[in-house]
Chains A and B, each alone.
Chain A
């Protein structure tokens, strides 16, 4: 939960709806969203609400949280509905690369084409002590080059918009000056009421009725405020969607962990980076998890890092078990014989009960013991905190009992020391034959433990 970017369609829907309800201002905003696997534009235009599509020229843009759409030839202007439909169908589901990020285009926004002479820039940004409103009469694609023409004013957080003089940023050369100032005030009101963190219209113009018309709009809202504003965040009658950043489709496992995360007071996060990676990390703590990932990358093995993940806030045994099972399922999915490693890391917990969370992990290790052996996976544990001694002890015991290679350490070694051990394992341990690994294992020759790491007695960490 944090700040979330929302689609242009959602931003404009919220703006239209709440300008009307909160400010009694009705804009001539019309738009439809065309999604992959849903009604096409020509199908949508037969609905009474969208009949305007047939009587006006249209603009079509992908609505995927990326900018620079004009520069990448992804915008169609002044088109008929048939042309627009054709344009969308040619591009829907096709991969594009924007600023180095690649992914399929799945959402388009279609709006009336508004011929215009002026392009204004408007943004509102939430900062620690103030909200900053920025305005320029030179909006548009070149705004970054023309940034010195942008004028800004800060409003102390909690103060009314009426305490600042917007005439300073909207000067007397602007046509309809007072009306635009009113519009800015209204947008600011929406910004505050709906817990926006960021709104940008680049550009907006005045339509044939002289009313403000945002040609493009971006928004970010603070998802933490959902318990206060959730009922206002409605788009077409449904709760607003928070799409993933462009180029990032959620794996099934990530969705699964997301769902658990939303139901618990604890925190469970999973981001898959490289499904065929050979170093996997299940780390306790928002801060520690970043440092483990840093260390893998610092030591030159970022390309082998399978995931970023984190569990914290004293999750119960069941949730920890689900999390650990998901991790083990991912880490053991490609038994190609090469050695791989799972880091069960963490700092010294303040209040998370290590014994309880480890119970959930141990249960998962039992469930996946065959897969662990078959995929040549070694597990490296480092943890401290309440009841860590018994948690670590149980972890050692399960390693012995199942003959699963687990090395276990407590606060006596540096937090990240297991990272270099894991790297040494994936570099120097012999490959195995996954088809016979289990057989050898059950014959009791301890195949999983023969790489000289001294198994799980918890002494002599390897330092690099």
Chain B
């Protein structure tokens, strides 16, 4: 009954390098292009911005892969110009269309990164697969490692931000924003090869290296997992082979045995360039129990996995190892200065990176630009935690049981109407909700529904009949009656005046209803107004007019449109919430037909659903119902 067996065993048989065959030395160039799976907009733009300051001729993003999409294109900036990047549905399609892209950048989640990475490994055109997701199961990572080995591919990650070859190619979000790239001079090549587990610290080290050396040639974050796809040793071995790299900087971490691979390579004399190394996690010894640090692979455990032992082994193998992280930059600086003194590092050319236009969103955030807005909206705000209608949160609307009339009050009139007014609006909606299948709106809806059109097409087909002859006379009648009433015309003057101009009076007359067959709807409206409105002078005026027109014909009654129109005038004038100019505006803008449109939509939807429910076939108007009176044209 014992423990510590793992430690004893594994430390004697760890594998120093991921591949039996070593990785190719050169992974990226100024021509490298990537395919991005499950692309993140910010990452794409940051890659292209890097391309611009590095003066690349071609964008580093060749295509995007969005499984389940219909393909198409994605727009992003390449310097001042806008670039159109193709979007593909599958890895295979993307590889066929973009054979030059050899980097696969996988932003899929930890649940799905495995499947997409497997597909990428199988594509002959791809060589480097970068996996961003944190939390991939270790067995999936191990499967990918073994597949990559068989197929001669390189994996960076999982759980990484990626890496960067200064002035040539940048993976995803590596090195952050463009100002950081400029500050750390990552737009041009330096002579340090840097590798670490941590993406955040890589960026920190790019900053340190830009101050203590001529900057990085390449930096790789291998990721914090226990089994990274490529190891510290893999990349150190690559840096040894790259002639541009003059010195190697490693930032290791407690947990795992990867650093011992570097130790062995140093001992075997395979690494000849100066190596500055530091393994973090010396603090673990003061912790009373085992601690899981932020990275999955960073666990205080056996002694050989400790930071002290690894630092000691690296130092003994010939690496330059400081006393603490604080001394790391000094150690790097001294090593670099020796290389300069010995003439191994030539002074770097300092190109001036082209100006990059500030991204608009960034500039707004930073308060650096202003821009007139294109749209004003004054009724509804969806930006906060809760949606508001005219400033009233929807929770209040529900909690205090606002009715539909109240909501119309808020969104159309921008105020809370008194209860009787809201109820009146609802009453109008109810009364106009439907008027049978034969009226033109319902008929059209029925014909459209039977032609197999969807709900919204059927609805709109009916709504489009609303106009001066059908349901759309509320505004016009309000305008006419208001004008006549306010000018104090007598009923006779008004009617005869209209007649002289050859105009029908909107709101007067009905096809079917008459003085003998009273429209019940009009009665109900009039009764409600008499009971609740404090004034009804417009209604009374309209009834005077009706009296006069009925002398001419029995069906020239005040119809439902006209009645709603004049009653709204009474409501607006008597409720005390609207100024005179506001009432003018409401009538002129044409609010009131809205009641008919909203109300009748209820009925039209009902008709469309009714036809679909009954599976009614295509409607064809019968021949015998049409008078064919055609004369042959001359031909």
A-B residue pair count with CB separations less than 8 angstroms: 251
A233-248: which have CB < 8 Å to B? 245-248
Residues of B within 8 A of A389 (CB): 366
Residues of A within 8 A of B204 (CB): 288, 347-348, 384, 415
Contact between A225 and B18, CB atoms less than 8 A apart: no
Contact between B137 and A225, CB atoms less than 8 A apart: yes
Measured in the bound complex, the distance between the Cα atoms of B189 and A95 in whole Å is 59
Contact between A67 and B2, CB atoms less than 8 A apart: yes
**Residues of B within 8 Å of A, CB-based: how many?**
81
Q: Is A123 positioned at the interface, with any CB of B under 8 Å from its CB?
A: yes
A128-152: which have CB < 8 Å to B? 128-129, 132, 134, 140-141, 143-144, 147, 152
Contact between A411 and B326, CB atoms less than 8 A apart: no
Q: Which of A286, A290, A415 has the most CB of B within 10 A?
A: A290
A212-265: which have CB < 8 Å to B? 216, 218, 222, 224-225, 227-228, 245-248
Measured in the bound complex, the distance between the Cα atoms of B287 and A126 in whole Å is 27
A432-458: which have CB < 8 Å to B? none
Residues of B within 8 A of A69 (CB): 1
Residues of B within 8 A of A359 (CB): none
Contact between B283 and A297, CB atoms less than 8 A apart: yes
Contact between B110 and A224, CB atoms less than 8 A apart: yes
Q: Is A37 positioned at the interface, with any CB of B under 8 Å from its CB?
A: no
Q: Is A407 positioned at the interface, with any CB of B under 8 Å from its CB?
A: no
CB distance from B307 to the nearest CB of A (A): 8
Measured in the bound complex, the distance between the Cα atoms of B9 and A108 in whole Å is 29
Measured in the bound complex, the distance between the Cα atoms of B140 and A259 in whole Å is 26
**Residues of A within 8 Å of B, CB-based: how many?**
88
Q: Is A11 positioned at the interface, with any CB of B under 8 Å from its CB?
A: no
Q: Is B374 positioned at the interface, with any CB of A under 8 Å from its CB?
A: no
Contact between A308 and B293, CB atoms less than 8 A apart: yes
Measured in the bound complex, the distance between the Cα atoms of B143 and A225 in whole Å is 13
Contacting residue for A351 out of B5, B176, B208, B283, CB 8 A: B176
A331-390: which have CB < 8 Å to B? 346-351, 355, 384-387, 389-390
CB distance from B195 to the nearest CB of A (A): 13
B1-32: which have CB < 8 Å to A? 1-6, 8-10, 13-15, 18
Contact between A384 and B180, CB atoms less than 8 A apart: yes
Residues of B within 8 A of A464 (CB): 326
Knowing A216-B1, A246-B289, A290-B293, say if A128 contacts B142 (CB, 8 Å). Answer: yes
Interface stretch, picked from A46-54, A84-92, A267-275, is A267-275
Measured in the bound complex, the distance between the Cα atoms of B197 and A399 in whole Å is 35
Knowing A125-B10, A128-B18, say if A295 contacts B325 (CB, 8 Å). Answer: yes
8 more CB-based (< 8 A) A-B contacts, given A271-B291, A287-B253, A414-B208: A125-B6, A129-B145, A158-B142, A288-B200, A294-B283, A297-B283, A415-B204, A464-B326
Q: Tell me the A residues contacting B by CB distance below 8 Å.
A: 1-3, 66-71, 75, 101, 123, 125-129, 132, 134, 140-141, 143-144, 147, 152, 156-158, 192, 195, 197-198, 200, 202, 216, 218, 222, 224-225, 227-228, 245-248, 267, 269, 271, 273, 284-291, 293-298, 302-303, 305, 308, 310, 312-313, 346-351, 355, 384-387, 389-390, 411, 414-416, 464
Q: List 21 A-B contacts (CB under 8 A).
A: A68-B2, A71-B1, A101-B289, A126-B138, A127-B13, A134-B9, A147-B8, A222-B137, A225-B137, A228-B137, A248-B288, A273-B288, A297-B285, A298-B282, A305-B286, A346-B200, A349-B200, A349-B203, A350-B175, A350-B203, A386-B177
